[in-house]
């Protein structure tokens, strides 16, 4: 028996409606994700300014009590680190990650012989995609040497802004280390005096665990007598150390991939494959160091390779 034409038509109609709802839902999800990333991008520098200002306010009397020169130097270093961090963040966020050359469909006279060798075709952009390029569904574009899409900068990390992203990570690590050192020093200066009467009377009969527990309990109890400025300093110290630990891990991972001449996405797709020659020359080329520094690093790298080759021949 042949199916009724009306039943077939209604089935196709329901499939079209379901597909339209799925596409609309995906589009709404994409818009919500982009809105969240845009909020992070615009809120992050503002929040960083408030945290920096709070740290300066909390450390200000302690540093200026040492000397006026130390206070002025602290303010200058803090301002320089804040400007450097926010500038590198904005460059990594608002600069294009590196779109490939736009080759319009049918414009074959513009393409030379073997210019599209090892190219693939991107089904999302409907354009040729060069090697080491990946399509980002969040940015809706192909990115050359794409490392990853970072929601905290609301942008992909690619060939054009990768060095700004790494510079931003370096500036965050330096800023957090400086903030942690200053807040720990200021907290130590503002901390109430602590006495350990139980340890002085019975230190011989107490175990090491009890002594440690007594010290922690006494120091934690004295924290209740801290002023508001002291509590802010303690919070900033823990926050700086936590952020520094996380960003340091990310920075080490990025530098290891750069040293290997690789990217994060290429490492995920083929972890055992060699995408380039390892060495310090990759880091020098990545940061665009001056000619003299490049010569020194490359000479050191070549000397190390010659030693390795001679050692392998002797074996």
Of 139, 142, 150, 176, the active-site residue reads: 150
CA 35 to chain centre: 20
Tokens of 277: 């020659």
Q: Which of 269, 249, 274, 246 is nearest to 259 (CA)?
A: 274
Q: What is the 3-state secondary structure (H, E, C) of the chain?
A: CCCCHHHHHHHHHHHHHHHHHHHHHHHHHHHHHHHHHHHHHHHHHHHHHHHHHHHHHHHHHHHHHHCHHHHHHHHHHHHHHHHHHHHHHHHHHHCCCCCCCCCCCCCHHHCCCCCCCCCEEECCCCEEECCCEEEECCCCEEEECCCEEECCCCEEECCCCHHHHHHHHHHHHHHHHHHHHHHHHHHHHHCCCCCCHHHHHHCCCCCHHHHHHHHHHHHHHHHHHCCHHHHHHHHHHHHHHHHHHHHHHHHHHHHHHHHCCCCHHHHHHCCCCCCCCCCHHHHHHHHCCCHHHHHHHHHHHHHHHHHHHHHHHHC
Query: How many C-beta neighbours within 10 Å does residue 308 have?
Result: 10
Is 150 designated active site?
Answer: yes
Say how far apart CA 258 and CA 254 lie, in whole Å: 6
Q: Which residues are catalytic?
A: 150
């Amino acid at each position: 028996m042949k199916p009724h034409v009306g039943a077939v038509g209604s089935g196709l109609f329901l499939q079209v409606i379901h597909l339209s709802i799925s596409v609309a839902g995906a589009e709404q999800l994409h818009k919500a994700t982009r809105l969240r990333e845009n909020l992070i991008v615009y809120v992050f520098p503002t929040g960083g300014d408030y945290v920096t200002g709070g740290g300066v306010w909390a450390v200000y009397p302690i540093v200026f009590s040492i000397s006026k020169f130390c206070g002025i130097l602290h303010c200058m270093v803090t301002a320089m680190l804040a400007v450097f961090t926010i500038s590198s963040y904005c460059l990594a966020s608002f600069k294009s990650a590196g779109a490939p050359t736009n080759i319009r469909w049918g414009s074959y006279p513009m393409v030379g012989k073997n210019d599209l060798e090892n190219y693939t075709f991107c089904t999302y952009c409907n354009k040729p995609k060069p090697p080491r390029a990946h399509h980002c569904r969040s940015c809706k574009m192909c990115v050359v040497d794409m490392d990853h899409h970072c929601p905290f900068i609301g942008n992909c990390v690619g060939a054009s802004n990768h060095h700004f992203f790494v510079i931003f990570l370096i500036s965050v690590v330096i800023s957090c280390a400086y903030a942690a050192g200053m807040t720990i020093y200021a907290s130590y200066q503002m901390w109430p005096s602590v006495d350990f009467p139980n340890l002085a009377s019975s230190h011989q009969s107490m175990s090491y665990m009890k002594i440690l527990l007594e010290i922690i309990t006494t120091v934690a109890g004295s924290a209740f007598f801290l002023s508001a400025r002291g509590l802010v300093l303690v919070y900033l110290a823990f926050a700086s150390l936590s952020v520094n630990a996380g960003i340091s891990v990310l920075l080490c991972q990025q530098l290891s991939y750069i040293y290997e001449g690789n990217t994060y996405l290429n490492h995920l797709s083929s972890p055992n494959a060699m995408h380039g020659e390892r060495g310090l020359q990759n880091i020098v080329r990545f940061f665009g160091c001056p000619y003299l520094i490049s010569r020194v690093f490359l000479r050191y790298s070549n000397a190390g390779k010659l030693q390795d080759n001679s050692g392998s021949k002797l074996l």
